[in-house]
Amino acid sequence: MTKVIKELNKWKAIRKSDVFLNKTVGLVPTMGALHDAHLALIKKSIQQNDITVVTIFVNPTQFNNQKDFKNYPITIKEDLSKLKKLNVDFLLNPSYEDIYPDNYEYKVVESNLSKILCGKFRPGHFDGVLTVVLKLLNLVKPDRAYFGEKDYQQLKLIEGLVKAFFIDTKIVSLPTVRTKEGLALSSRNLRLSEEQKIKAVEFPKSLASSLSNDKIKSLLRKKGFKVEYIEQIDNRRFGAVYLGNVRFIDNVKI
């Protein structure tokens, strides 16, 4: 039975109760519109912990573009039935007012990794991500928290957050889940037309190719993508592109 909790006061009381006594806890933070990549994280948490808590909170502070926030897909009914099927213990689905009693006057700011790649093009994005993740870690107090490698920069920043603030949670990461054609699963894919979905496959394909970053950029532009960045750091190539008004990010080990 999945227990759905919306109010943080209720949640805090349950978290302190005997239900959690001597139990290991896994946290899977999400913004909903759950797909197979989320489900892989949830299954891993169920495997590794006594209790699994999934959070669904479309976090406004991590959207630097209000239109993108407004257009973010919300599929709470479908999400809940997926969670019930997996027998997830708790769904925490809080309000903005509960999560931000300070109206975002307090925030976590990282000054190095958060300023490059996506951070360069989405000012304030990672402040919002790190702030909400810190709040969720404090609220759920999990032994383990689960994140996908598709958001590799986010993953590395969250690992840094946990280390910097002595948070007693192990960050567990899982590889990017892709369609059989190679497109990384993302909630934003719901906003693609069938034609765009076919075209979108060119993006991960080109990232994994042996072409230079510049060649990849011009190839993708010719195919109708708007390219934000293609960059290599160590042995990983990162990219962000748009098809229409849908933004994709991806990264591959090379």
Bridge-based pairing state of the strands 90-92 and 51-56: parallel
**Residue placing its CB nearer to ligand PAF in the complex, 49 or 62:** 62
Instruction: Please give the single-letter amino acid code of residue 19.
Output: V
d(CA 75, CA 137): 24
Within positions 33 to 72, which residues make up the interface with ligand PAF, using CB under 6 A? 59, 62
d(CA 154, CA 157): 5
With CB under 6 A as the contact rule, the residue among 89, 149, 151, 202 that binds ligand PAF is: 151
**Residue placing its CB nearer to ligand PAF in the complex, 151 or 202:** 151
Q: Shortest distance, CB of residue 35 to ligand PAF, whole angstroms?
A: 11
Under rule CB under 6 A, residue 32 binds ligand PAF: no
- From the list 90-98, 115-123, 125-133, 161-169, the region that binds ligand PAF by CB under 6 A is 125-133
With CB under 6 A as the contact rule, the residue among 99, 129, 137, 177 that binds ligand PAF is: 129
**Residue placing its CB nearer to ligand PAF in the complex, 54 or 220:** 54
- From the list 24-32, 84-92, 106-114, 223-231, the region that binds ligand PAF by CB under 6 A is 24-32
Q: Shortest distance, CB of residue 213 to ligand PAF, whole angstroms?
A: 25
- CA dihedral for 136, 138, 142, 147, sign (positive or negative): positive
- Phi and psi at 196, nearest 5°, equal -65, -35
**Residues 38 and 81 sit within 8 Å (Cβ to Cβ):** no
Biggest distance spanned by C-alpha atoms of the chain: 60
- For the chain, state the CA radius of gyration: 18
Q: Mark whether 35 is an active-site residue.
A: no
d(CA 107, CA 163): 17
Here the tokens at position 234 are 């160590």
Q: Give the count of residues interacting with ligand PAF (CB under 6 A).
A: 10
Q: Shortest distance, CB of residue 18 to ligand PAF, whole angstroms?
A: 29
d(CA 158, CA 164): 10
From the list 28, 30, 31, 38, the catalytic residue is 38
Catalytic residues: 38
Chain positions contacting ligand PAF, by CB under 6 A: 29-31, 59, 62, 129, 132-133, 151, 154
